[in-house]
Structure 1
């Protein structure tokens, strides 16, 4: 569950980075447009996007690329990262899978004190 929470926080941090990038682009160009997952991938590593497209078209049916991967790459980056990040945080914070709090160094249950003297 810790891995889900860490990945969720990482995606939320990436969403903030995308907002900053989009706002700086808007400031410099004068027009605002949402970054898409495909444009982010092409900006980070253009060679791998081209090779992924080539190998997918070579080894998989062409309709698979056109009907599944291309619409996924056209999604806006900010809502995709926010939704996936919050989902992973929710998945990592579910109460049903948590062990007993005293398990492996967790908090101890409070002990009852014995009364000394007259009361």
Structure 2
């Protein structure tokens, strides 16, 4: 009985670890999307890097390009998340967009 409880605890910990990892990765990608859409400086900085990467890809079809680009995009997102607080940056950009969108209305805090 003790072994069953130990095995179930280990399985539960593994599932929770995987779940938190997936949620963290989704937050990073969502934040990168927000930054690319709402922050022109971020977009321009990354656009040059993406163009350079596209020139370096050797692929025979769109599927190969897509696979390589998606892997590079994930890598870039995680590198940016380690180097800069992209999650906080995305929240700040969203807040500014919210305030700008509501500046003509009678919004009160």
Fold conserved between structures, TM > 0.5:
no
Kindly name which structure, 1 or 2, has the bigger radius of gyration based on alpha carbons.
1
TM-score by length of 1: 0.30
Larger relative helix fraction: 2
Higher relative contact order (CA closer than 8 Å, sequence separation 6+):
1
TM-score by length of 2: 0.32
